[in-house]
Structure 1
Amino acid sequence: MSLDLFSLVQPALAAADAPAIPAARLVPAALLGIAVIVLLITRFKLHPFLGLTIGSLVVGAVAGVELSATVDSFTKGFGATAASVGTLIALGAMFGKLLADSGGADEIVDTIVGRSSARTLPWAMAGVGAIIGLPMFFEIGLVLLMPVIFLVARRSGLSVIKVGIPALAGLSAMHGLVPPHPGPLVAIDALKANLGLTLGLGVLVAIPTVAIAGPLFARFAGRWVDVPAPTMYEPRENALDPRPSFAVTLFAVLTPVVLMLGKALADILAGKDNPVRTVLDFVGTPLIALLIAVIVGMFTLGRGARMGTKELAKSLEQALPPIAGIILIVAAGGGFKQTLVDTGIGKLVATWVQGSGLSVLLLAWLVAVLIRLATGSATVATVTASGILAPLAAGMAPTHVSLLVLAIGAGSVFFSHVNDAGFWLVKEYFGLSVGQTLKSWSLMETVLSVTGLVFVLLLGLVV
């Protein structure tokens, strides 16, 4: 999942320029690479970082790509993911530790748990995830929500899956379906869709989709995968210690949300030379927005908890060691994804389905699904599928063009697995095995994707 429009398009362009590798070698290479990763991690208990690295080399070797080119692809993907997602995970972990150590997370949790029953709590978490996820990238929303998810699970006595899956569904649905996320924006631009109409229809599809893939699905997922909340963010030792108020905590948490939303709106409504847009483009960049959030948190959360300079420094310092392994695994997942992308498998899948004769909306979803499964990237799936469907969109009504964007977005989040950096992010944060992650997170993504398609098709019958 890339974090600016140029980096969104770049992987798709790399795939388009990849050397032509016969399908007879390319498909087995991708399948064998994935199988090797799963086998090394589950059967031989190898660290995921090593498993992903070896799996990337297997893909290149079976596909007939030169070893040096395979290493280049892996290191390019690793570096790009570490530079974008890795820095955000680090800053998000710092903010999360501040939130936990100051008691701000306790304040949010007490408010949520105090006003929700065990039955309504997953619904509240789905709403929180959707609101946080509206202007934010999935990775940022996830690291910001972690302290809240863990503490809510501990305080309520519910499984982290029953609490966390609804929040993840809210985040993921916003990422795939609703502008101003870059994926939908790229599709809107490629298909010449109406932004306002797509936004309205996207929210209309997202609400029931989140309900089904979030709280309703979590009831079943919580039975299949019952794990306690990890101890990454421990509750405060003394609940009577001073802590920031709910209003102050909410201000700190929403700071990056507001900054990113401001950037997105400025990009849509203001001209390129507008000084306000220039400022918002800077402060609303994910890295800067999270950096500002950490600084704001030091003053607001720290002051509310009466933390001194040494306590603040200690809190920030202790945030980084627990997430070092997560950053390496997520970056290696990005390297494996880039290895697949550079072989050209996304282009191969697109060619297969281009002349299938299916309905346009179903075809758009299917193209995005296959490319998502092959490359592990929702963004590459969105960009590639939009390019393929662009000629068909030229003669369609504005409403159906917007539905085409949503069908692509729904397909782009289908079944996250080992070639998706997000898969490893969820696995490591929640402390799950590969099998447990597939039965919870991956299935949730699939339910979300299929449910989104169903509602898009239903809207296509009445609008």
Structure 2
Amino acid sequence: MPVFILLLGIVFIFVLISVLRLNAFLSLMLACIFVGVAEGLPLMKVIASIEAGLGGTLGHLAIILGLGAMLGRLMSDCGAAQKIALTLVNKFGRKNVKWAMALTGFIVGIALFWEVAFVILIPIVFTVATTAELPLLEVGLPALAAISVAHCFLPPHPGPVAIANIFHANIGLTLVYGLIISIPAVLIGGPLWHKLFRKWSIEIPQGLISTKIYKEEDLPGFGVSLITAMAPVILIIGSMIGEHIVAKGSGAAAFFKFIGNTDISLLISVFLALFTFGLQRGKKLPEIMSTIEASIKAIAMIMLVIGAGGAFKQVIIDSGIAQYIASLMVGVSLSPYVMAFIVTAFIRVAVGSSTVTVFTAAGILTSLAAMPEVNKELFVLTISAASMFGLPPTDAAFWMCKEYFNLSFGQTVKVVTGMTSVIALCGLAGVLALSLVIH
């Protein structure tokens, strides 16, 4: 019954958004109430879950999304995104830009959380698509696949690191095996997956990119454009290196940890962009501030939709559906890797959040991890892969992809949910293949 109610809730969202054309935020609010009440939560508990889920999601993402939008709009309005896009097109050729975007996404995704990598890459994706006159999905999906794979399989991302710590797996070996699995997963989930949707014509959302096309001589240099755009990555990687060089507990270590925080690194990068993309190019501060204000206006509804997605997730968690789904799998006789994948994937679809999924699954699957035939590093990657499966509307990332890529609810399910499922299955296939030679 709980699973049936969850499915009804997802169908309810689809009908409201795709059939009745109701605003996504309002649709999600109604779905939260419907699922919460149907699952037996008291009315005031439903409200508390909505507030906790929305606040918890935006509490984490609001700063990242806001600062990321500012940085992206500054890049776009001064021509920096256009300069990066032109350079990629010229170096790789129009036909190979998708491979360049996959490589860029993978490099950025290794160091940054998924949300941060997404908001940094999205203005470059938009401008590359516009400059090269390529379909948005042809440019965007390879980058999206790459940052998703990095988030899923590679330490130092919190998912694989947390699971490795729980099961006492070797982080270094987990990274090595994850890199091996990542390469085919990116290729299949990105450039090859796009071929199924190459005939789709998707427009870039209004307000998220400058419509002005600059002459070559008016563009900022490629070096300053790239360094400013990649400043968050540089700061985070630099802080990681710095923390290992200086003495633990020292003032220098605290400083490196501070600047390596994703919020602070983006804040520093925005102020750098104010100078390199604004003041240095002769713009006055009031003109630059109008760009900042416009960037926030453009993502206001996106932030509300993402927050509502977090509220829906919290209602699902508080109703206990994850534990119910896990209990259904008890007693099934399968390979421990396949079993772990199925249990984790079911939880993922139910609760949405990949972070919640890995911790819930890790607690349930402890006995499987202790089996003598199980390689702990591969078991970690199995759970990590399954936590990416079937990106559901209970995950804020679903709504980020939907809104930024200007997709309908159904298109998002086909393109993005399908892509994450393919990546997850590639991960399971990679684990099973490696398990034949690694014990």
Percent identity of paired positions between Structure 1 and Structure 2? 37
Range 385-394 or range 438-447, more displaced = 385-394
How far is the alpha carbon of 1:206 from its aligned partner?
0.8
How far is the alpha carbon of 1:374 from its aligned partner?
0.5
How far is the alpha carbon of 1:264 from its aligned partner?
4.9
How far is the alpha carbon of 1:383 from its aligned partner?
1.1
* Residue correspondences, number: 437
Query: 1:154: which partner in 2?
Result: 130
- Name the TM-score, length of structure 1 as normaliser: 0.90
Q: Distance in 1 between matches of 2:165 and 2:244?
A: 12
Per-residue CA distance 1:322-374 (angstroms, 9 max, x = gap): 10000000000000001101111111122222432211111121121111100
Assess, with a 3 A threshold, how the Cα gap between structure 1 residues 271 and 353 changes in structure 2: closer, same or farther.
farther
Q: How does 1:67-82 map to 2 (within 5 A)?
A: 67-82=43-58
Aligned residue among 355, 364, 377 for 2:340? 364
How far is the alpha carbon of 1:241 from its aligned partner?
5.8
Question: What do you get for the CA RMSD once the two structures are aligned?
Answer: 1.9
How far is the alpha carbon of 1:308 from its aligned partner?
2.6
Query: 1:179: which partner in 2?
Result: 155
Query: 2:222: which partner in 1?
Result: 246
Q: Distance in 1 between matches of 2:244 and 2:161?
A: 10
Query: 1:44: which partner in 2?
Result: 20
Q: How does 1:150-299 map to 2 (within 5 A)?
A: 150-223=126-199, 225-231=200-206, 232-240=208-216, 242-264=218-240, 273-299=249-275
Aligned residue among 432, 438, 443 for 2:407? 432
Query: 1:373: which partner in 2?
Result: 349
Aligned residue among 394, 398, 412 for 2:387? 412
- Name the TM-score, length of structure 2 as normaliser: 0.95
Aligned residue among 307, 325, 328 for 1:352? 328
Query: 1:442: which partner in 2?
Result: 417
Structure 2: runs of 5+ lacking an equivalent: none
Does residue 1:318 correspond to 2:294, yes or no? yes
Range 257-266 or range 64-73, more displaced = 257-266
Q: Which amino acid aligns with 2:390?
A: F
Range 78-87 or range 68-77, more displaced = 78-87
Q: Which amino acid aligns with 2:405?
A: F
Query: 1:383: which partner in 2?
Result: 359
Q: Secondary structure at the match of 1:134?
A: helix
Q: Distance in 1 between matches of 2:240 and 2:177?
A: 18
How far is the alpha carbon of 1:270 from its aligned partner?
7.5
Q: Distance in 1 between matches of 2:240 and 2:387?
A: 21
Q: Secondary structure at the match of 1:322?
A: helix
Assess, with a 3 A threshold, how the Cα gap between structure 1 residues 448 and 38 changes in structure 2: closer, same or farther.
same
Per-residue CA distance 1:220-254 (angstroms, 9 max, x = gap): 2223x331333420243432563321111121122
Q: Distance in 1 between matches of 2:223 and 2:325?
A: 50
How far is the alpha carbon of 1:411 from its aligned partner?
0.5
How far is the alpha carbon of 1:112 from its aligned partner?
0.4
Q: Secondary structure at the match of 1:419?
A: coil
Query: 1:423: which partner in 2?
Result: 398
Per-residue CA distance 1:92-147 (angstroms, 9 max, x = gap): 00000111112111110011011122331111111111111111111111111111
Range 338-347 or range 388-397, more displaced = 388-397
Structure 1: runs of 5+ lacking an equivalent: 1-23
Assess, with a 3 A threshold, how the Cα gap between structure 1 residues 267 and 332 changes in structure 2: closer, same or farther.
farther
Query: 1:462: which partner in 2?
Result: 437
Query: 2:113: which partner in 1?
Result: 137
